[in-house]
Amino acid sequence: MQRNVSLKSETHTIGSENEWVSIQNRTFTNWVNEQLSSCGREISNLQTDLCDGVNLVALVESLQVRKIGKVYSKSKSRIQMIQNVNLAFKAIAEDKYQISQYR
């Protein structure tokens, strides 16, 4: 499957689904890093660097321009990681944003 993508008045053809996913991954990672730059954080891998919830909470706090609660910054257990992620999701839900999974 080929996709046509327009970038600043140029059209590029992306040959494979994997290539398209890779471009989307890099683009979103760069956007997240731009948002996290205000708190001195950076990620390199979306799957691993957001999984403990610490960077996810920092991202939500950056977007909402407020603290959202206590974060387990050195989360050692799975329950602390889940609590961090839950804290971020609750803050998003409080602002009436709908969270969905796209694939």
Q: What is the pLDDT of residues 54-94, one digit of tens each?
A: 999 999 999 999 999 999 999 889 999 999 999 999 999 98
Strand partners for 3: 14
In 3D space, the residue among 88, 96, 52 whose CA is nearest the CA of residue 68 turns out to be 88
CATH class of 17-101: mainly alpha
Q: Domain residue spans in the chain?
A: 17-101
What is the model's pTM?
0.77
Q: What are the φ and ψ backbone dihedral angles of 6, each rounded to 5 degrees?
A: -100, 125
Is residue 61 within 8 A of residue 54, CB to CB? The reply is no
Q: What is the pLDDT of residues 43-55, one digit of tens each?
A: 999 989 999 999 9
50 contact partners, CB below 8 Å, separation of at least 6: 43, 56, 59
